[in-house]
Structure 1
Amino acid sequence: MLFEGVLKKMPTELKEEVQYYMVFENDFLHVNQLLNQKISLSFLKYQCLNCGKDKKIFRQGFCYDCFYEIPQAGDWIMKPELSTAHLEQEDRNLEYEKKVQLQPHIVYLANSSNVKVGVTRKTQVPTRWIDQGAHEALEILEVPNRYLAGIAEVALKDHVADKTNWRTMLKNEIEDVSLEEKRNELLQFLPEEVEPYILKNNKETEINFPVLRYPKKLKSLNIEKSREYTGVLKGVKGQYLLFEDDRVFNVRNNAGFYIELKV
């Protein structure tokens, strides 16, 4: 089988095991069905996810110009506390920013390599947890806009991590922690503005990933540099493909790369 197209974040479904898909312009691929099979990846060109041009990808699948112009790459994406749509203040495009920022957001705890705090739109639960490779997660706040989620996250970052150690996550060096107990420890540090939105009775969500073998010594695959690679797929976790030779390929980080995939 031969597939060709631009890489984007893999859509997922939360089932007994997470189901992964690659979606191209004229085709799609159920990645779980490729486990234990040899696949080949070839880098062909760039294709910016915004303008569609063959321009070197800068960040998040966008070329340099688009990254610094479009609202989908504003600073508030990575730093929710910088959101200003609730104040009617525009960053790059107020209409877009209102659409995204002024909707329910979840502040959560997730455990992938360690317990971390994070923010996502309510519509992105549990997708966000899957993308981070979390094996368990718990919603602790549901707020009406992104700004409130951001200030809650900032307050909790002094007491719990806000980033995932991707190496630990991919090696599956995990420790089960009671996220409900951790939530109860952290509630005292939340700002007064978000106290009405605390979720006190939520239960943890458990997530199982389709992995036959976890890598021992991680080696990141740089398809832009190597141009092509062939290996046996042994698992998928987060947005990573895990191969038999301990190579790992972050599909999301390579968004905007136009590739050929052979099975």
Structure 2
Amino acid sequence: MRLSGKGTFITGGASGLGFGCAEAFLKEGARVVIADLDKEKGKRVADTLGDRVHFLKLDVTREDEWISVLQQAEEWLGTLHTLVNSAGIAFFLDVENTSLEDWRRMMAVNLDGVFLGCKHGIAPIERAGGGSIINLSSVSGIIGGANLAAYNASKGGVRLLTKSVALHCARKGTGVRCNSIHPTFVQTPMVDDFVANTRNPERTRAALVEQIPIGRIGQPEDVAAMAVYLASDESSFVTGAEMVLDGGLSAQ
């Protein structure tokens, strides 16, 4: 039980990578608060996962909600050791076809949400005696894509924000570590929706797999396993790192 006794807060926990992380953390003995904008789905998921899970509604773009929800989470958990910033959105548009409204929405959820989680998550984790902030970025935060203007920018921002937070916490002596995870295509509702809305979903999925040297797209369990490691005491010397989970894509 690598996370026994560790209280964990996960945004975007009602589906996708956030849900996968919640399952994995529970298996390793953690108590988990999942936060999501979808209240009904979040409650259903929490009920399904058992009595070591609690749901709180959160719009990650709202600072007032972050402050309130983290206080509630700390009270329910007792102590907060780990915060996983998993909430995010994606759309596939080049720079000329990206509206300012879409750009701002992407930044608000993907980057502002992570900023607010880091800003307000440090203090409760420090009160717990130290722990880990884990930011879900993307391989698209490291390499560019012609049709990912806003997404590239938001995830690249998460990558360097993570390093700044890590250095700040280390120099202040908070005991808080901060790292980012950079997956490529993972079998989540986000990727499934993208594939389903193309002209030829079967061909699109094959094209995604073809880009990955290891020969498959990722699974939520792949990302969750890395998150468990970063939350555990095994990674006590790891901070400011970018953990790339892309099946060799960026090695080419």
Normalising by structure 1, what TM-score?
0.25
Normalising by structure 2, what TM-score?
0.26
Q: Identify which of structures 1 and 2 has the higher relative contact order when contacts are C-alpha pairs closer than 8 Å and 6+ apart.
A: 1
> Highest Rg: 1 or 2?
1
Which structure dedicates a bigger proportion of its chain to strand?
Answer: 1
Which structure dedicates a bigger proportion of its chain to helix?
Answer: 2
